[in-house]
A and B are shown apart, each in its own frame.
Chain A
Amino acid sequence: MPERPQIERSMIEIRNVTRSYGSFKALDDASLTIREGEFFSLLGPSGCGKTTLLRMIAGFDNPTSGSISVDGQPMEGIPANRRPTNMVFQSYAIFPHLNVEQNVAYGLKRLKLAGTEERRRVEEALAQVSLTGLGKRLATELSGGQRQRVALARALVMRPKVLLLDEPLSALDKKLREQMQVELRRLQQAVGITFVLVTHDQYEALAMSDRIAVMFGGMIAQVASPKEIYQRPVNRQVADFLGGMNFVKAEIVEENGASLVLDTLGFGRVKTDKPKAFVRNGAAATLGIRPERLRVLWDDATAKFEVAGKVVERHYFGEITHLIVEIPGLEKPLSVTETNDFGADDIPVGTTIRLAYDPEALVAMAD
């Protein structure tokens, strides 16, 4: 795969930012660098501080301590209306007394452009979000998806250095949401503006982002590419938040530079990559494996690495089947997702089956 040219300049610098409300810390000593031109997501459950962080970048809230800079400029004391950022609000915040064109042109009015230039930019922004021809419509006459596009156009027309998106897809139905994910990603690549997205939907973050910061309880747990976040979560919380994960108790036998040797029940002695942010806490650790990385072995097929167990539950989901398999020695049964191509939906409960796995799929996590 061709490498992207490494001219990654930082666009947003968040340094030791804390936001307290009385004794409650909505954000606790968060530090983060967001690069120019990347699609960055802040992912976490509600109340994790992701929206607080976004609103502080926009200028609607201020850090109790720490600093935020955008494009090399410290943002302290700069109000929202003088920041090089624009936001797409969760409620879209379309001005109901203005039509689509007037909404999009709202911010341009202050720039005092020539009439033709203003018209050209409005038309261009509407074209970018495929709303050409709807300029005269009132906000009340638009569907949810169209309002979303107006909100996008209204922000993009300002040519911000950073576009902030606060759960922009949460109000849309599933199908439209998936369509908009693809469109947003395409749009971001076309305009090349840094996008910062706040979401609680892990699939949304995985599908759209260049990098993701996973947040819990006001702290940033991990910052990495979607693939790394999914495959190499730093702890159980991150692993759990990003889809299903089987957790197996493990004991650290050996720790060196880049690898770990763990002893487990069920999976035996395992050598794995040491996660980047691994902080050892005694000898105990956790080994994780995603349900889809366990494959059912049919008939006489064998694999270099396998475990055997008894199917105790079976759940049918159309294209996949979810099996719960009890493995001798493991305190919790394993979840296995198997595509239905080979008849996993017909495995009777009570059967003993063998599961193959790739040791590469095993991930060590600090306990």
Chain B
Amino acid sequence: MTAMRRLLPGRLLPAYAFLYVVFLYLPVIFLPIFSINTAATPKFPLSGFTLKWYHDLPRTPALLDATWNSLVVGVSASILSTVLGILAARSITRYRYPGRRAINGLIMAPLVLPEIIVAISLLLVILQLGLSLSLFTVVLGHVLVCVPYSMTVLTAGFEGFDRSLEEASADLGESAFGTFRRVTLPMVAPAIISSLLVCFTISLDEFLIAFFLTGTEATLPIYIWGQLRFAAKLPGVLALGTLLLVASFLLMTIAEILRRRAARRTQNEGGLHA
């Protein structure tokens, strides 16, 4: 009995972990596989290797428009969210005031709210305000969902930032702006870039809010959704999806590396080993 008990978790745990990972990532792996298959329908066995679907992508004007729209929305939303995130993270990490935790919670809330509810509510508000739906309204929606991520990344970068560093700079004759430029900015720059990348990635992939809040202009996820109605367009969508996947993966990896570097930089200050 005791031997069994010792063996079971020992053997089953790795198997469970393996299955879990396969279930998570298998669909993701199918995407690139079928995107280089000659057949238009995604099924095994594969019929042959081709880069035709990738080749066709730049020749689709609607796709190019959607890509451009996504870039515009992504860049705008990431800059706006990061600026707001910097202000919020600075206030949360630097000052102590009543309601600090509550405000932090409210800013983070969109992370757990059902996105479709958020999207519908935003649509109602925007229509009530008399704004017409456009890429601008999509940017507003994306800022709402991006700020919590931006905050998380920036808070990690700002926390442990030794305030005496800024005082030391002032003490050595530097002005407030000079201190920001020569001390604060270089130290939190990795966190800021990381936040920009994370927000851009989220905006790039975001479908629901963009779908509800855009006018006639499609972003990439909306374009993809539209293409799914035509079976013949599926391989092209798979190719596009693969590219998006790779881009997201790269951006997030860079963002994570920068975030860790920022955290290390601010936290190794004041090491007391003599």
Give the interface segment out of A79-87, A268-276, A297-305, A345-353. A79-87
Among B164, B186, B266, chain A packs the most CB atoms within 10 A around the CB of B164
> Is the Cβ of B269 less than 8 Å from the Cβ of A89?
no
CB nearest to B273 among chain A residues: A144
- Taking the nearest CB of chain B, how far is it from the CB of A56, in angstroms? 13
Our pick among A80, A97, A171, A176 for the contact of B170 (Cβ within 8 Å) is A80
Q: Which residues of A from 103 to 133 have beta carbons under 8 Å from B?
A: 106-107, 110-111
Tell me which residues across on chain B come within 8 A of A155, comparing CB atoms.
Answer: 171-172
Residue B115 is within 8 A (CB to CB) of chain A in the complex: no
Instruction: Tell me, in angstroms, the Cα distance from A138 to B269 when the chains sit together.
Output: 12
Interchain CB contact under 8 A, A95 and B165: yes
> Cβ of A89 and Cβ of B167 under 8 Å apart?
yes
Interface centre among B173, B174, B268 (most CB of A within 10 A): B173
Contact A173 B268 (CB under 8 A): no
A94 touching B172, Cβ below 8 Å: no
Chain A residues within an 8 Å CB radius of B272 = 144, 171
Contact A91 B164 (CB under 8 A): yes
Q: How many residues of A contact B (CB 8 A)?
A: 35
In the complex, what residues of A have CB within 8 A of residue B172's CB?
81, 86, 106-107, 110, 154-155, 158
Contact mask for chain A residues 119-153; partner B; CB cutoff 8 A; 1 contact, 0 none: 00000000000000000000110011100000000
A96 to B270, CA, bound (A): 10
Smallest Cβ distance from B257 to chain A, in angstroms?
17
B265 within 8 A of A: yes
The answer, yes or no, to whether B132 is at the interface (CB within 8 Å) is no
Listed by A's residue number, 25 A-B pairs whose Cβ atoms lie within 8 Å are: A58-B171, A60-B167, A60-B170, A81-B170, A81-B173, A85-B171, A86-B171, A87-B167, A87-B171, A91-B164, A92-B270, A93-B164, A93-B165, A95-B168, A95-B169, A96-B265, A96-B266, A97-B186, A106-B169, A106-B174, A107-B172, A144-B274, A145-B274, A158-B173, A172-B274
Binding site for A on B (CB under 8 A): 162, 164-165, 167-175, 178, 182-183, 186-187, 265-266, 268-274
